[in-house]
Amino acid sequence: MNKSSRHNSIDFVELAVPSRAELASSKSFYSTVFGWTYKDWGDDYADTQSSGVGSGLNAHAPQPTARTLAVIYVDDLEAAHQRVVAAAGKIVKEIFSFPGGRRFHFTDPAGNELAVWCER
């Protein structure tokens, strides 16, 4: 998928893992059941592209939610942030950098938490 066709699309799903100690067992579970292979990004995060839509396992504490987190790709992170605020979304995690890009988290009017990201 090229960059322009990804704009405003869910392209990543993040699953919460209760602790760093359980990250290895979660990776093993998905590898055994579905054959997914993971790349580690430190002690508390791993992701895979072999799950169809990219997905990650997040054991970063404290976890704000134990729910699955849909992550939306955009071309312009600041513009998306402004649109979320203008539409009465609540920013729950301001823009931050991570290996590979930047993102922020928000809740929609129904209380669903999502993230928005862009490449650096």
Contacts 24+ apart (CB under 8 A), 18-21: 18/59, 18/63, 18/66, 19/59, 19/61, 20/44, 20/59, 20/61
pLDDT digits (tens, 9 = 90+) for 6-41: 899 999 999 988 888 889 999 999 999 889 999 999
Q: What is the pLDDT of residues 71-96, one digit of tens each?
A: 999 999 999 999 999 999 999 999 99
Domains and CATH numbers, the chain: 3-118 (3.10.180.10)
Whole-model pTM? 0.79
Rounded CA separation 114/59 (Å): 17
